[in-house]
A = this chain, B = another copy of it.
């Protein structure tokens, strides 16, 4: 089973490293980290990760996964990225994303007519690409699996493993990674967060979201 993540500068590393930890433990899986070159990829928070294969050399993937990031705008019209995703997405068994990675899948035309989700700030933007924006931590529509923001990647990956190789393997990985979460606060989504916290995060993100909305409109 060939599992591949598309890595790019400015991605949010936990969008990728969460599902990586889960998927790398699937028996028989080979995980590829595909990027434009083999140079280190620097995440939005400064972590540098080494890709394993270039886009040109990447084998056909069974699972294609695109992580998100705060600066996906530049990728929405990046032909090298979109061509890679279209080529892989046409034959992958599962076409997937975490967080705003779904906007990149959308820009590549891979979510047209599919229910999909994204980071809570951006899920409505999927409509511009013909997707059906759908709230949810993990949203499945046929062979499209999209996860919500950042940490949703762990829930997404366990759900995908259960689908691909069965619940027993998924449950074993969940127990081995001690995924029995106990967040210190109940506020990881606007539906349950304090209004003051939602307002504070929205204010910090507003400028970036305005730019993203414009970039999505231009790319669609």
Contact surface of A with B, Cβ cutoff 8 Å: 12-14, 17-18, 20-21, 24-25, 31, 33, 40, 45-50, 99, 119-120, 137-138, 148-152, 154-155, 158-159, 162, 167-168, 170-172, 174-185, 187-190, 192-194, 197-198, 200-201, 204-205
Contacts and interface: CB of A to CB of B under 8 A. Distances in A.
Contact of A18 (B14, B40, B48, B183): B14
A115 to B, nearest CB: 17
B194 A171 contact: yes
14 contacts: A14-B177, A137-B180, A138-B182, A148-B178, A150-B178, A151-B154, A151-B178, A155-B184, A168-B197, A170-B184, A174-B185, A175-B201, A180-B189, A181-B188
Contacts of A167: 185
Contacts of A175: 187-190, 193, 197-198, 201
Contact of A150 (B119, B179, B190, B197): B179
Given A24-B45, A49-B47, A150-B21, A197 B172 contact: yes
Contacts of A148: 178
B158 A170 contact: no
Given A149-B178, A167-B185, A188-B175, A47 B20 contact: yes
Given A49-B49, A50-B48, A154 B181 contact: yes
A123 to B, nearest CB: 11
B200 A174 contact: no
A20 B201 CA distance: 19
A19 B197 CA distance: 21
Q: Which 9 A-B pairs have the closest CB atoms?
A: A149-B178, A180-B188, A17-B17, A24-B45, A181-B181, A14-B21, A179-B188, A48-B50, A180-B189
